[in-house]
């Protein structure tokens, strides 16, 4: 190896070492900013908590964008929150975490079509994600689209047969569709989990009529 080759390797080594030292120093300031933001968040000062992250903000940092998405949502800055969550999704397109976060500001502004789209994106990636299925079922139930709603609650109860919330909603879907026999059985199972739940008792009474 000639002198030029040795100099090149030595130069690259110095560059790697300097980047490592910089990264270590940079991490200290990042860690401090995150720590301060958690303290401020705990005190309800979401704007200042966000400002701490903005001081060390790097556009291609997934964690910073995710944190700013959450803090802006908590501060009521929904458009900013959406923008930061969108960046998080772009940086980690296969992650469910930023998609669930993105749903918070979308729900706050009432953009339910986009919420549905995002839950479906989560299910494309994680087809047994019961949280996404449950909330999709709830949205369709509130829209009185019981035929769509029931599909999601059935899937959840197939995976978690004794979960009260999914049994309860699955029962109400059946009742709304006129399937009283199925509804009765599901309300009975739900009441085995929570024997004194008033709304489940009401549903059982209605399914007996």
| Domain regions of the chain by residue span | 21-114, 128-209
The average pLDDT across 12-21 equals 40
Q: At residue 24, does pLDDT exceed 80? A: no
Residue 58 Ramachandran class (φ > 0 left, ψ -120 to 50 alpha, else beta): beta
Q: At residue 9, does pLDDT exceed 80? A: no
The average pLDDT across 35-57 equals 96
pLDDT band (50, 70, 90) for residue 118: very high
The whole-number pLDDT of residue 15 equals 41
Count Cβ atoms below 10 Å from residue 66 Cβ, excluding itself.
23
pLDDT band (50, 70, 90) for residue 19: very low
The whole-number pLDDT of residue 14 equals 37
Q: Which two tokens stand for residue 170?
A: 């699955």
The whole-number pLDDT of residue 209 equals 86
For 56-91, the pLDDT digits (tens) are: 998 999 999 999 999 999 999 999 999 999 999 999
Q: At residue 193, does pLDDT exceed 70? A: yes
Percent of the chain surpassing pLDDT 70: 88
- Can you name the CATH fold of 128-209? 1.25.40
* Integer angstrom CA distances of residue 40 from 26, 36, 51, 60, 142: 21, 6, 10, 24, 36
Distance CA 143, CA 204 (A): 23
Q: At residue 8, does pLDDT exceed 60? A: no
Q: At residue 5, does pLDDT exceed 90? A: no
Q: Give how far the C-alpha of residue 201 lies from the chain's centroid of Cα atoms, to the nearest Å.
A: 32
Distance CA 27, CA 44 (A): 25
Distance CA 160, CA 157 (A): 5
- Can you name the CATH fold of 21-114? 1.25.40
For 132-172, the pLDDT digits (tens) are: 999 999 999 999 999 999 999 999 999 999 999 999 999 99
Q: Are 64 and 51 in contact (CB under 8 A)?
A: no
Q: At residue 131, does pLDDT exceed 80? A: yes
Distance CA 190, CA 122 (A): 27
* Integer angstrom CA distances of residue 103 from 60, 113, 149: 21, 11, 19
The residue with greater pLDDT, 51 or 10, is: 51
Residue 18's contacts (CB-CB under 8 Å, 6 or more residues apart) are none
């Amino acid at each position: 190896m000639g002198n030029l080759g040795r100099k090149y390797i030595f130069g690259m080594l110095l560059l790697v070492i300097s980047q490592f030292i910089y990264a270590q120093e940079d991490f200290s300031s990042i860690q401090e900013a995150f720590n301060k933001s958690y303290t401020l968040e705990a005190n309800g000062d979401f704007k200042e908590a966000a400002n701490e992250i903005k001081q060390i903000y790097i556009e291609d940092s997934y964690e910073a964008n995710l944190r700013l998405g959450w803090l802006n949502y908590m501060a009521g800055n929904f458009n900013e929150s959406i923008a930061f969550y969108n960046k998080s999704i772009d940086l980690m397109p296969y992650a469910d975490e930023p998609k669930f976060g993105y749903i918070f500001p979308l729900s706050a502004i009432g953009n339910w079509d986009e919420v549905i789209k995002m839950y479906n994106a989560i299910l494309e990636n994680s087809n047994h994600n019961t949280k996404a299925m449950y909330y999709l079922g709830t949205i369709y139930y509130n829209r009185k689209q019981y035929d769509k709603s029931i599909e999601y609650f059935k899937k959840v109860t197939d995976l978690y047969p004794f979960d009260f919330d999914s049994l309860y909603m699955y029962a109400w879907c059946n009742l709304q569709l006129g399937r009283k026999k199925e509804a009765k059985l599901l309300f009975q199972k739900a009441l085995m989990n929570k024997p004194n739940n008033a709304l489940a008792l009401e549903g059982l009474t209605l399914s007996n009529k």
